[in-house]
Amino acid sequence: MGGRNPGAAVHARAGPWQTGGMSWYDNAAAPWNFVSRKLITARLVTMWIWLGILILGGLVASLLTGAPLLLLVPAAALLLGGWGSWLIVRQVTAHAWAEDEEDLLVRRGRMFRSVTVVPYGRMQFVDVKAGPLERALGIAKVQLHTASPGTDASISGVPASEADRLRDRLTTRGEARLAGL
Amino acid sequence: MNDTTGYVYHAPREWTRLHPVSPLLGGWVFLGLILAYWIHNQLPAWVDGGDDNSLAFFDQFPFLWLVLAALLAFAATIGISFWQWRRTEYRIGDDAVYLRQGIVTRQQRQARLDRLQAVDVVQPLLARLFGFAAINVQVAGGQKSGVELKFLRLGDAEALRNEILALAAGVKEEKATGDDAAGTTAPTAAPDATTADTTASSGIRGHLAARAGALSNPEAVLSGTERVRTAVAAAEEREVYTLPLKRLLLSIVLSGATFFLLTLPFVGLIAFFVFRVDVVAAVGAAIGTSLVAIVTALAGLLGFFWTRLNGGFGFTAGISADGLRLRHGLTETRRQTVPPGRVQAIRLYQPFLWRGQDWWRITINVAGYGEDQESVSVLHPVATREEAIRAVWLVLPDLGDPDPYGTLGHALHGHGADGGFTASPEAARRVDPLQWRFRGVRATDRALLIRRGRWERELFVVPHERTQSLGLTQGPIRRALGLANVVVHSTQGPVTPVAAHLAVDDAIELLDAQAARAREGRRRQTPEQWMSAVGLETGASDE
């Protein structure tokens, strides 16, 4: 299969959680780089802030009105939060990228999983973004743009120092292999 | 316009205004409003049921005042347009088309010719009546990155297009070998040189003198309206297909919208006899409330017919050295030139009602057109099977297959694994009971073919070198069934190729193989300056 090394499965399975069950894409010649675990913290914090507001609101409302049924809201939020937290951990630990000879591969998701293959020569530009929370945790999001709006090639949770290097690497490779549209 | 036959148009190398008539071609909407109001007042009250208050606001003023107000608004619009026109200037350089405009905020925009994706000459109805045209230069690089010049005289617009295409094609490389001595001494003339006649364009003219044959054979559309008076003749064109009006009309009749209109009475009958609904009263009530509302609803439906008719009327496709040429339009006409290698993906679609005739609607992705209306992204509104294959050939002269007819035949009508297609496995039946047998993917040396559809059919053709990126996706249900989708990301447009419900192993193999093929394709793809690639211009100037 092209220049890819089928034996790379060993690298691919280096993650702490196995992709499990059915075989899934791991034919990258280069090793998969898993994103930083700090992304879990970042996503958990964001999610629980919203849920926290909901829970507090529900509690206050039920105290004020004395309607015990309103307690269902915080209960539901808690359940949702528990499930969401589990999802976030699963998602983040499946999110990885690999830099092949000619293409960048981005792998994401566990329940809905996807692999995106972006040739370096097709990259129009690269974005590095980090919000306040992400900056505090020292991670950033690297997003690649091609001429196609369908290309979903963003890598969240790249360690900040690595993000800049990754961007430079991608840009250099892109320029070297730049192809017309 | 025959009195100007001695005049030869040159694309301006210095800042130039558009044609002075341009501001007059807008602003008519206010007069139209007054007309609408007048008609509204003349009509009997039952037409809009009396509770339509959209125009009631105007009733408090005398009609004469309204006319005066409209005239004032009209004059103001024309005045502002005139001011805008004064502040809008364009010029072409060797590398780009430049446009600067704006009254309060000045905006300067350049369309780089090496990113050129298509050049359209558009004539809206009013402009067309008076022999004017707008020119749209589409470049890659996101929405709104193109340059639109409106309006120029039709002949000038054609000439400007030809010159832009000649420059973008890399014909200027020819300058060094041009027969004009002045041209050879100034091969790198500054783009804003004002001595355009003797320097920058001489090389092009040298080249175009070679194409002079085309001058005696101007485009058919032009021949009736305006003489070609241009330094740069259009690249010679060979017509490939024309859509007969009869087929277009029949295709519109054979559409879902017609089907809907025809079944309405039957639905009414069933409602009347089976469910005992008093249809007459219901319809009467509906009409009673507002005829205008019903007319609006019908207009939406008719809008579909109108777009199809207007867009497909007189549809003609040809091939020239400058690439694909498409001409079409009933009231608004459009002449598109898409240089070689600019078509990113093709979709052939056959609605259920067209099966008997074996007709196909063919749409394309061209980067500059973006999310534009369907009028610009059609390669053939109603193709016979033969024409459909020819249309694919127009875009991909070499399909990379020893038997292109057989392969495309299988792609259009086959099912299962015939024709070397990779079909969906039987597990796909659970999620896709109707058409799983009809899904298939096959790669030739030059393009990827993706087929689907049982009742209606669809075929995607994506040239390998045009693949932007690839995706492999799988949700929980497909995962349980061992299926996955392969998505080919193309530029923005109506064509979004997906190979759905493949066996996981097939999908993974396809992804890898396709990435390798795209890599291979990018290596041998045609350069952006299509003429400098094949050396066509050298051959032409020797003649």
Listing DSSP states for B359-427 in one string gives -EEEEEEEGGGTT--TTTSEEEEEE-HHHHHHHHHHH-S--S-S-HHHHHHHHHH--TTGGG-EEPPGG
In this structure, is residue A137 part of a structural domain? no
Is the predicted pLDDT of residue A6 greater than 90, yes or no?
A: no
In this structure, is residue B175 part of a structural domain? yes
Would an 8 Å CB–CB cutoff place B477 in contact with chain A? no
In this structure, is residue A49 part of a structural domain? yes
Residue among B467, B468, B464, B459 at smallest CA distance from B440:
B459
Confidence of residue B290 (pLDDT cuts 50, 70, 90): low
> DSSP string spanning A96-129?
EEEE-SSEEEEEE-SSSEEEEEEEGGG--EEEEE
Do B135 and B149 contact (CB within 8 A), yes or no? yes
Is the predicted pLDDT of residue A149 greater than 90, yes or no?
A: no
Is the predicted pLDDT of residue B325 greater than 90, yes or no?
A: yes
Query: Which pair of tokens denotes residue B14?
Result: 């210095």
Same domain, B140 and B214: yes
Q: Do A114 and B471 touch (CB under 8 A)?
A: yes
Confidence of residue B543 (pLDDT cuts 50, 70, 90): very low
| A34 Cβ neighbours under 8 A, 6+ residues apart | A14, A15, A93, A95, A96
Confidence of residue A86 (pLDDT cuts 50, 70, 90): very high
Most confident of A146-150, B183-187, B343-347: B343-347
Is the predicted pLDDT of residue B223 greater than 80, yes or no?
A: no
> DSSP string spanning B432-480?
-TTTGGG-EEEE-SSEEEEEE-SSSEEEEEEEGGG--EEEEEE-HHHHH
Query: Which pair of tokens denotes residue B194?
Result: 């004002």
Would an 8 Å CB–CB cutoff place B365 in contact with chain A? no
In this structure, is residue B305 part of a structural domain? yes
Confidence of residue B514 (pLDDT cuts 50, 70, 90): very high
Same domain, B251 and B226: no
Burial of A143 (0-12, 13-18, 19+ CB in 10 A): middle
Q: Do B472 and A115 touch (CB under 8 A)?
A: yes
**How many CB atoms neighbour CB B75 within 10 A?**
12
Min Cα–Cα distance to chain A from B516, Å: 5
Same domain, B278 and B169: no
In this structure, is residue A79 part of a structural domain? yes
pTM, 2 dp: 0.80
Same domain, B21 and B151: yes
Distance, C-alpha B459 to centroid of its chain: 19
How much is the pLDDT for B169? Answer: 86
Same domain, B118 and B137: yes
Same domain, B301 and B255: yes
How much is the pLDDT for B23? Answer: 82
Residue type, A106: V
Do B423 and B445 contact (CB within 8 A), yes or no? no
Same domain, B221 and B250: no
In this structure, is residue A61 part of a structural domain? yes
- B476 → closest Cβ in A4, A111, A119: A111
In this structure, is residue B451 part of a structural domain? yes
Structural domain total, chain A: 1
Which of chain B's residues have a Cβ under 8 Å away from the Cβ of A3?
A: 516
Mean pLDDT, range B125-140, rounded to an integer:
89
Q: Which helix (H) or strand (E) holds B73?
A: helix B63-86
In this structure, is residue A97 part of a structural domain? no
Between B381 and B225, residue with greater pLDDT:
B381
How much is the pLDDT for B230? Answer: 55
> DSSP string spanning A9-75?
HHHHTTSSS---SS------SSPPEEPPTHHHHHHHHHHHHHHHHHHHHHHHHHHHH--GGGGHHHH
Taking the C-alpha atoms of residue B506 and residue B236, their distance in angstroms, rounded to an integer, is 45
Confidence of residue B459 (pLDDT cuts 50, 70, 90): very high
In this structure, is residue B254 part of a structural domain? yes
Between B530 and B229, residue with greater pLDDT:
B530
Q: Angle CA(B374)–CA(B162)–CA(B82) in degrees, nearest 5?
A: 75
Mean pLDDT, range B309-331, rounded to an integer:
91
In this structure, is residue A5 part of a structural domain? no
Question: Tens digit of pLDDT for each residue in B369-399?
Answer: 866 666 789 999 999 999 999 999 999 888 8
HSE-up of residue A157 (Cα within 13 Å, Cβ side): 23
How much is the pLDDT for B414? Answer: 86
Residue type, B77: T
Mean pLDDT, range B210-227, rounded to an integer:
40
Mean pLDDT, range A86-103, rounded to an integer:
93
Of B124-133, B166-175, B240-249, B391-400, the poorest mean pLDDT is in: B166-175
Residue type, B173: E
Confidence of residue B209 (pLDDT cuts 50, 70, 90): very low
Would an 8 Å CB–CB cutoff place B487 in contact with chain A? yes
Same domain, B198 and B252: no
- Domain encompassing residue B471: 341-525
Most confident of A64-78, A132-146, B56-70: A132-146
* Count helices and strands in chain B by DSSP H and E runs: 17, 21
How much is the pLDDT for B492? Answer: 86
Between B109 and B214, residue with greater pLDDT:
B109
Residue among B232, B236, B201 at smallest CA distance from B323:
B236
Taking the C-alpha atoms of residue A148 and residue B499, their distance in angstroms, rounded to an integer, is 17
Provide ipTM, 2 decimals. Answer: 0.83
Would an 8 Å CB–CB cutoff place B471 in contact with chain A? yes
Do B379 and B346 contact (CB within 8 A), yes or no? yes
Taking the C-alpha atoms of residue B256 and residue B270, their distance in angstroms, rounded to an integer, is 20
| B40 Cβ neighbours under 8 A, 6+ residues apart | B48, B55
Taking the C-alpha atoms of residue B410 and residue B420, their distance in angstroms, rounded to an integer, is 9
Confidence of residue B288 (pLDDT cuts 50, 70, 90): low
In this structure, is residue A72 part of a structural domain? yes
Structural domain total, chain B: 3
Question: Tens digit of pLDDT for each residue in B35-63?
Answer: 777 776 666 555 554 445 555 666 677 77
Question: Tens digit of pLDDT for each residue in B146-160?
Answer: 888 988 999 889 889
Between B245 and B34, residue with greater pLDDT:
B245
Same domain, B286 and B410: no
Do B441 and B510 contact (CB within 8 A), yes or no? yes
Q: Give me the residues of A, 93-132, that contact B with CB < 8 A.
A: 102-103, 111-119, 121-122
Of A32-46, A67-81, B198-212, B489-503, the poorest mean pLDDT is in: B198-212
Taking the C-alpha atoms of residue B409 and residue A15, their distance in angstroms, rounded to an integer, is 46
Of A15-24, B319-328, B404-413, the poorest mean pLDDT is in: A15-24
- Domain encompassing residue A53: 40-89
Residue among B369, B362, B315 at smallest CA distance from B118:
B369
Same domain, B22 and B55: yes
Tokens 């070679």 correspond to B210
In this structure, is residue A34 part of a structural domain? no
Would an 8 Å CB–CB cutoff place B479 in contact with chain A? yes
The answer to whether the Cα torsion of A133, A108, A121, B346 is positive or negative is negative
Q: Which residues pair with B508 in a beta bridge?
A: none
How much is the pLDDT for B33? Answer: 72
Confidence of residue B1 (pLDDT cuts 50, 70, 90): very low
Mean pLDDT, range B318-334, rounded to an integer:
90
Would an 8 Å CB–CB cutoff place A19 in contact with chain B? no
In a 3-state reduction of DSSP, which class is residue B517? helix
How much is the pLDDT for B249? Answer: 94
Q: Do A27 and B513 touch (CB under 8 A)?
A: no
Q: Do A150 and B516 touch (CB under 8 A)?
A: no
Same domain, B302 and B427: no
B448: left (phi over 0), alpha (psi -120 to 50) or beta: beta
Q: Do A1 and B509 touch (CB under 8 A)?
A: yes
| B319 Cβ neighbours under 8 A, 6+ residues apart | B237, B238, B240, B325, B394
Mean pLDDT, range B465-470, rounded to an integer:
92
In this prediction, what percent of chain A has a pLDDT beyond 90?
Answer: 57
